[in-house]
Amino acid sequence: MNRRTTVGIHDLSFASAEFVLTHATLAAHNGARLAKYHTGIGQQAMSVPAADEDVVTLAATAAQPVVQRHGTDRIRTVLFATESSIDQSKSAGVYVHSLLELPAATRVVELKQACYAATAGLQLALALVTRDPGQQVLVIGSDISRYPLDSPGEATQGAAAVALLVAADPALLRIEHPSGLYTADIMDFWRPNYLSTALVNGQESISAYLQALEGTWNDYTKHGGRPLGDFAAICYHQPFTTMAHKAHRHLLRHCGHQSEHPATTALTCTTAYNTQLGNSYTASMYLALAGLLDHADDLTGQPVGLMSYGSGSVAEFFAGTVVPGYRRHLRRTAHRTVVDRRQALTYARYRDLHETQLPTDGGDHPLPPQTTGPFRLAALTGHKRIYTPR
């Protein structure tokens, strides 16, 4: 590969669910102070999927604009990251491959490690394109976060998918070396196969996140990474948006910096979408990147830090440089439409959707149309999911 050829994120698109529950509606139901949500966890609303939506339909909807803009001929790999998997064997990405009519000469796999897996996909994609700069890799993070009704985690639910096209000479962000890595065996958040909602130890999860942040930063600097003062912005994984602010303050203290660090002002931009969509697990940090690129002042040539965390736990800190001309390739209007098109739910309707369970008897079960998106889960038959485009 030519030394001057760089690899990174060439395009970025995201999608979310059909419905939205505002935290004002949630607070009215449970009698909580609205500030508990708007200020305490930094959330305004959360996306709620229709009965005929899942991680596949969200992923295909996110990726469709990327494929329409760039074509399919150079896409040789699809890496689908999720912790809301629909099958223990078949990759959700194979369904997306079919819905988007990608070439048969494509490798497709699913990746799992809590909210971190999309970053594993990005790093694998960078290696593949470095080896063969003529190919492109589609990396998708798609998740629906669900917690029990009336539980502490209920207010942090959400749903979204982010599609990244990784290519040589990228139009948005050149990914740099090195990465800082960290893994620890911690039970801060998990979901056994027999449960449909996650288990979480909230305080332990926050501590584990901050511990991982320190670990990744120490490893990043040990391997020659940039000093903290270089960064114009840092995108953090956001299980709720105030966690980004908590993590940033922790990193500043760890590095002996003051709170006036230039990257502090950009934090609000990184939370612009997550505060409306809720926690989208593998998509969360890349929604932060979308928010930054769509809303910040011109970042041309500026370094951006990225902190990816997945409970259990695995984390990575790495960096990228914003490419000149990147603003011409952004999808601000489309992304705003994703947020604004959602239909508001009453709490009763949200509760009905939350409690909906797909049939498991293997019979023929057509699903009534609810979503107005381009793809839907149309039926279950013989234990198979049937997806259709509109």
Whether 237 sits among the annotated catalytic residues: the reply is yes
Q: Which of 18, 83, 110, 316 is catalytic?
A: 83
Q: Which of 115, 235, 335, 354 is catalytic?
A: 115
Helix runs in 223-331, H state only: 242-255, 262-270, 274-277, 284-295
Whether 83 sits among the annotated catalytic residues: the reply is yes
Cα–Cα distances in Å, from 342 out to 64, 86, 334, 380? Answer: 19, 24, 13, 25
Q: Which of 237, 261, 335, 354 is catalytic?
A: 237
Residue-number span of the structural domain to which 369 is assigned: 7-389
The average pLDDT across 230-238 equals: 97
Q: Is residue 79 part of a domain?
A: yes
The average pLDDT across 212-237 equals: 97
Q: Is residue 339 part of a domain?
A: yes
CATH code (residue 331): 3.40.47.10
The average pLDDT across 90-109 equals: 98
Coil, helix or strand for 160?
strand
To the nearest whole number, what is the mean pLDDT of the chain? Answer: 96
Q: Is the pLDDT of residue 3 over 80?
A: no
Q: Is residue 1 part of a domain?
A: no
105 class by beta-carbon count within 10 Å (0-12 exposed, 13-18 middle, 19+ buried): exposed
pLDDT for 261: 79
Coil, helix or strand for 173?
strand
Q: Is residue 299 part of a domain?
A: yes
Structure confidence by residue, pLDDT tens digits, 151-160: 999 999 999 9
Cβ proximity of 387 and 377 under 8 Å: yes
More confident residue, 3 or 365: 365
Alpha carbon distance 159, 181 (integer Å): 27
DSSP code string of 101-117? T--SS-EEEEE-BTBTH
The average pLDDT across 18-37 equals: 97
Name the least confident of 193-207, 210-224, 309-323. 193-207
Phi first, then psi: give them for residue 225, nearest 5 degrees.
-70, 170
Q: Is residue 2 part of a domain?
A: no
- Would you place residue 83 in the very low, low, confident or very high pLDDT band (cuts 50, 70, 90)? very high
Q: Is residue 371 part of a domain?
A: yes
Structure confidence by residue, pLDDT tens digits, 106-156: 999 999 999 999 999 999 999 999 999 999 999 999 999 999 999 999 999
Q: Is residue 259 part of a domain?
A: yes
Whether 53 sits among the annotated catalytic residues: the reply is no
Question: Number of structural domains, the chain?
Answer: 1
Q: Is the pLDDT of residue 324 over 90?
A: yes
Q: Is residue 198 part of a domain?
A: yes
Closest listed residue to residue 38, CA positions, set 240, 265, 209, 200: 240
